[in-house]
Amino acid sequence: MAAVRSSSGRENNQLKNHFDRLKFRTKLTILLIVVGFVPIAVLGVSMFMYAHNTVVENREDDMTNSLEQACAAVASQVAICEQMIDYFVYDQNVIDFLECSPEDKTKRYEYYQEVCNIITALEYQNLNMQTITIYSENITSSFGKETEPLSKLQESKWYDRLDKKGGTTWFYDSASLDFLAIHKIPSYSGIESYMVVSADTFSLLQSLQQMAVESYGVHVEGIAVGDALQGTMSKDSQYAVEEIGNFNGTECVDENGRFLSFDKDNSRYLWIEQEIEPLSVKAFYYTPTDRIKTISWDMALGIAVQIMVCVILILLLGGICSDYIASPIELLTKDIQMLDAENMQTTITSERRDEIGTLIQSYNHMVLRIQELIQENYRTKIAQKEFEMKALQAQINPHFLYNSLSIINWKAVEAGEKEISRITLALSSFYRTTLNRGQMMNTIQNAVENIKSYLAIQLCMHDDNFTVHYEIDEGTYNYYIPLLIFQPFVENALEHGLDLKEDPDHQLWISISQDEKDIHIEIKDNGVGMEQAEADKSLEYDAKGYGVKNVNDRMILHYGEEYHVVIRSAPGQGTSAMLRIPKAVKDGQNAHEK
């Protein structure tokens, strides 16, 4: 078996390789001849199916209308029964009879006679009602054939599913072949009582029986309710769907005489279903599909003649279409072959306005776009080198600066000038974390240390006239961010925000948080603020200072346009600068990728 499969696979590959080597014009001619028959076959099948479906849909519409009318008639009969049941259970004589003490036999017998008269009247007025029985816990033994103790009803299989709030519940009793309507009777003293009406099934479903003529049949069965079924008891399950009535012109049975259920796999019959909600049953109106197929095949003969005419036309037009399509493709192939990797200036032209013309125009656009991307990549690399050069220039002889600051610090300590020592240490820490050994990326921990040193110097310069609030998630300390992205925003907050504010309440907030993918940084002040247009302008070339713009340019250069700086401000409400940076653990490598 494996050898046969291997041989078959090789033959298929050889056939495919041979077809791939053919010229486009030859391939197109073969495909037109082969594929031309496919739509004809599909057309023939679809026309036949359309004709067949039209017949089926018309028959379904007729059957649906008939079934809806019949079910409406059944529902009307059920509604009449329920109206009479409501009249009975709310009759004062019935309530008095059930409320009457069993010891007061004389009075109770008088009420019983009134109840019997009402029952007789109801059975006379509605022939669907065969028997009416009252079950009550106030009846200890049968008080005539119309009354029974509640315990007998509690033994029934449907007692647990009764509507205890006072509605009418319908059940089908397979033992008596009747429908049972059960309604709770109200009580002033909380006595549990029910009225049970036995309704003749065939009388109640008479309108459905009248539809079963000639080749049409009607089937009625119980339907599922939750995990149970509103039907009759079954040996295999607690509640199961069971045939209630089968009024048929053509009996819906299999070859062994067993009843066929109506489901998606039953293709022998065309059937319509309609639910009769009060009875919790489904009615199926069905007819054999063989009669419909006979009509459909007669229509298929006329379709076959039309298909043959179409086949001949396709063969004639195939050659013309092959030449029309293949010729411009062949010219396009020759033009493209003129291009090479070293000559990206060559483009092809076409005056066609169809898809082939669109293909040529798109190719030209692609070549131009490649040229633009090459230039853009070149400019990006130049800009990155300039940033690196500026960082290199800032590192010239840092050890001399550190040693000088260290000497100043010791001199201040010897002289007892603690404030000068504190400033000197802050300045030393600031420059150490700023130079960062020439690296363009810095950890958030070092960046926080840098800005804290910077603010310590600024607090001294401002006589501690502002307060700094740090809200920093220490879990972000090991992630990397570009160097010197805090200072420009802090400097702007002090110089253009807090220093210009007359109110002595000067506050500055620096917060760093994280989510699943990004680090979120916000630098906010409660200074004088500015118009939003002016805040947006600070990110452009014509802004007064380049610090903020430099940070924005570096963010876009490192991470892309979506990670640009966002500044929000309003006069008198302060300014907020927000940055979003992808999580990176080293050298800009994404933390999730790592």
CB atoms within 10 A of CB 457: 16
Q: Please report the pLDDT score of residue 192 as a whole number.
A: 87
> Helix 355-393 crosses helix 290-336 at what angle (to 10 degrees)?
60
- In whole angstroms, give the CA distance from residue 97 to residue 85: 16
Helices (H) and strands (E) in the chain, counts: 15, 19
Mean pLDDT over residues 389-394, rounded? 54
Mean pLDDT over residues 378-396, rounded? 61
Residue pair 96/110 in contact by the 8 Å Cβ criterion: no
Report whether pLDDT(326) > 90: no
Residues 134-172: pLDDT tens digits?
888 888 777 677 888 888 888 888 788 787 777 888 888
Report whether pLDDT(233) > 50: no
Confidence category of residue 507, pLDDT binned at 50, 70, 90: very high
Mean pLDDT over residues 195-199, rounded? 89
Report whether pLDDT(362) > 70: yes
Q: Please report the pLDDT score of residue 331 as a whole number.
A: 67
Does the domain at residues 439-590 carry the CATH identifier 3.40.50.300? no
Mean pLDDT over residues 250-272, rounded? 62
Q: Please report the pLDDT score of residue 568 as a whole number.
A: 92
User: Which residues are bridge partners to 269 per DSSP?
Assistant: 288
Task: Name which of 245-259, 289-303, 486-500 the model is least confident about.
Answer: 245-259
Confidence category of residue 504, pLDDT binned at 50, 70, 90: confident
Question: One-letter amino acid identity for 395?
Answer: Q
Residue pair 427/458 in contact by the 8 Å Cβ criterion: no
Backbone conformation region of residue 299, classed left if phi is above 0, alpha if psi is from -120 to 50, else beta: alpha
- In whole angstroms, give the CA distance from residue 284 to residue 292: 18
Beta pairing, strands 129-136 & 147-149 = parallel
Mean pLDDT over residues 89-117, rounded? 85
- Structure tokens, 278: 């009060």
- In whole angstroms, give the CA distance from residue 173 to residue 150: 18
Q: Please report the pLDDT score of residue 346 as a whole number.
A: 58
* More confident call, 249 vs 552: 552
Residue pair 483/440 in contact by the 8 Å Cβ criterion: yes
Q: Please report the pLDDT score of residue 224 as a whole number.
A: 45
Q: What residue ranges do the domains of the chain occupy?
A: 90-198, 211-288, 439-590
Q: Please report the pLDDT score of residue 432 as a whole number.
A: 66
Q: Please report the pLDDT score of residue 129 as a whole number.
A: 84
Measured between its terminal Cα atoms, the distance across the chain in Å is 47
Q: Please report the pLDDT score of residue 509 as a whole number.
A: 94
- In whole angstroms, give the CA distance from residue 286 to residue 77: 23
Rg (CA), the chain: 46
Report whether pLDDT(297) > 90: no
* More confident call, 548 vs 421: 548
- The pTM score is 0.44
Residue pair 57/309 in contact by the 8 Å Cβ criterion: no
Confidence category of residue 236, pLDDT binned at 50, 70, 90: very low
506 burial (CB, 10 Å; 0-12 / 13-18 / 19+) is buried
Q: Which of 426, 475, 420, 422 is nearest to 450 (CA)?
A: 426
* Average pLDDT of the chain, as a whole number: 77
The CATH number corresponding to 90-198 among 3.90.930, 3.30.450, 3.20.20, 3.40.50 equals 3.30.450
Mean pLDDT over residues 350-363, rounded? 74
Task: Name which of 34-38, 80-84, 346-350 the model is least confident about.
Answer: 346-350
Report whether pLDDT(468) > 80: yes
Task: Name which of 178-192, 293-307, 563-577, 580-594 the model is least confident about.
Answer: 580-594
Task: Name which of 186-200, 363-377, 475-489, 574-588 the model is least confident about.
Answer: 363-377
Task: Name which of 402-406, 538-542, 579-583 the model is least confident about.
Answer: 402-406
* More confident call, 336 vs 175: 175
- In whole angstroms, give the CA distance from residue 241 to residue 243: 7
Report whether pLDDT(251) > 60: no
Mean pLDDT over residues 479-490, rounded? 86
Residues 429-463: pLDDT tens digits?
666 666 655 567 888 898 888 888 888 878 877 88
Residues 411-422: pLDDT tens digits?
667 676 667 766
Helix, strand, coil percent content, the chain, rounded in steps of 5: 55, 20, 30
Percent of the chain having pLDDT more than 70?
A: 75
Report whether pLDDT(392) > 60: no
Confidence category of residue 231, pLDDT binned at 50, 70, 90: very low
* More confident call, 172 vs 389: 172
